[in-house]
Amino acid sequence: MPIDTTPPRPEDFVQTGSRPSDLRITDLRTATVGWNNWHFTIVRIDTNQGLSGYGEVRDFASKNYALMLKRVLIGENPCNVDRLFRKIKQFGHHGRQAGGVCGVEMALMDLAGKAYGVPAYVLAGGKFRERIRMYCDTPNEPTGEAMGHRLKERMGRGFTMLKMDLGVNQLIAIEGALSWPQGMLPGDPEDKLERMLNHTTLMHPFTHVRLTPKGIRLICEYVEEVRAVVGDAVPIAADHFGHIGIDDCIRLGQALEPYNLAWLEDLVPWQYTDQWVQLERALQTPVCTGEDIYLLENFKPLLDARGVNVIHPDLATSGGILETKRIGDYAQERGVSMALHMAGTPISTMASVHCAAATENFIALEHHFTDVPFWNDFVDGLPKPIIQNGYIPVPEGPGLGFTLNEEVVREHLVPWDRGFFEPTPEWDNVRSHDRLWS
């Protein structure tokens, strides 16, 4: 008997027995998974019809950002995604504090898609592409040649766009590469700036860490070694420059222009719109930021000022699928492309895939975990590996398009959390007067 190779269609998944108008949220529970130093909270929203939807709180964020929303969701129809988002968005903020709102929005989109039997991208307006280009993040390597070979290996897996860590971390132990006011920074001088560069609460303008001419020359030599290995054609973005001020960002950015980098990411904190305008005007390499910004209204100052060439929201920070599509559309009106930051499990990744499919000016979606062998296993119902020759095919299944592999989730639960989607009755009846106006 011949095998049917016809690709699935959205209408194949319509649940004719579902009654979306009668769907109600009955519970919200979480399970936190992790590996190495990472952890991620999976959000599960249950309903009176046996449907469950899944979302994800951003890496390193508290699950409480999601659980605190339970009291305002119980009894609501999850298909009213925009209405519920407007109801809960006041409880998010920039960075990880947006994790609960965003994870819930993903789960609502998953539920609404399952209720109507359509992929989440349909609820966002339809798709512009059949597959989503992935770009592969690569942490620090001690030499440019070593980084080049790591990137070359990723190219061999089909990735057509790459990113590397590049900045002052490589210079910490090199005499004469950096200068700073000795003794003023956390961890200085005992650990040679390591703690300051990675964990300081001081924003970039206030550290007064400066690159010396030697330091700039060494970074340029590093990138030259990278290009010698991978060639000049593949786009390579650069991130994690360190907490240096705008003057040094401009000096370094201008020195790196011969190497044709795809973009320079998060050079200064996103809040400093005027500094981003300075960077954009001074450099011929595109500049990019946005992974910690919450809601379209907070992207608007950067976009209206034309302070970036690429906007870079993270779906698990920016507001979820629909809000991030609005951000992309607004950027498109101002001639700015959108890439998506992402460091998560396949759950938040697939939410990002649906958003990317529905956004015309999308470039590529980040992937952090190429070297984690079990990353694909958290979900079923998708082609494996999930990333195929550098792309993720846009799924046609209902909602986000996957089923959760509960066995794998159990295997990777963090030891310090309460367990696998345990009941959360303590969050049912929390009371608060939350109105933002009088």
Concatenate the DSSP letters of all residues of 210-277 into one string. EE-HHHHHHHHHHHHHHHHHH-SSS-EEEE---SB-HHHHHHHHHHTGGG--S-EE-SS-TT-HHHHH
**Domain of 76: which CATH number?**
3.30.390.10
Spatial neighbors of 68 by CB under 8 A, at least 6 apart, are 91, 100, 427, 430
Considering the domain architecture, whether residues 249 and 354 belong to the same structural domain is answered as yes
Q: Which amino acid is at 172?
A: I
Residue 432 within a domain: no
Encoded tokens for 383: 């082609």
Q: Which of 287, 348, 286 is nearest to 317 (CA)?
A: 348
Residue 317 within a domain: yes
Considering the domain architecture, whether residues 263 and 371 belong to the same structural domain is answered as yes
Encoded tokens for 71: 């009291």
pLDDT of residue 95: 94
**CB–CB of 321/105 below 8 Å?**
yes
Considering the domain architecture, whether residues 90 and 148 belong to the same structural domain is answered as no
* Mean predicted lDDT score pLDDT of the chain: 93
How would residue 14 be classed by pLDDT, with cut points 50, 70 and 90? low
Neighbours of 120 (CB within 10 A): 31
Considering the domain architecture, whether residues 190 and 92 belong to the same structural domain is answered as no
Supply φ then ψ for residue 271, to 5 degrees: -65, -20
Residue 4 within a domain: no
Q: Which of 120, 35, 147 is nearest to 349 (CA)?
A: 120
Question: How many domains does one find in the chain?
Answer: 2
Q: Which of 290, 346, 357, 295 is nearest to 320 (CA)?
A: 295
pLDDT in tens, 312-346: 999 999 999 999 999 999 999 999 999 999 999 99
pLDDT in tens, 284-297: 999 999 999 999 99
Instruction: Give how far the C-alpha of residue 290 lies from the chain's centroid of Cα atoms, to the nearest Å.
Output: 10
Helix axes 99-116, 81-88, angle to 10 degrees: 170
Considering the domain architecture, whether residues 107 and 237 belong to the same structural domain is answered as no
Q: Which domain holds residue 114?
A: 10-118+405-427
**CB–CB of 69/107 below 8 Å?**
no
**Domain of 208: which CATH number?**
3.20.20.120
Residue 123 within a domain: no
Residue 433 within a domain: no
Residue 340 within a domain: yes
Considering the domain architecture, whether residues 333 and 187 belong to the same structural domain is answered as yes
Residue given tokens 């000049």 in the structure block? 232
188 pLDDT higher than 90: no
Residue 306 within a domain: yes
Residue 179 three-state SS: strand
Q: Which residue has the higher pLDDT, 291 or 194?
A: 291
Residue 434 within a domain: no
H or E, element range at 408: helix 406-411
pLDDT of residue 26: 97
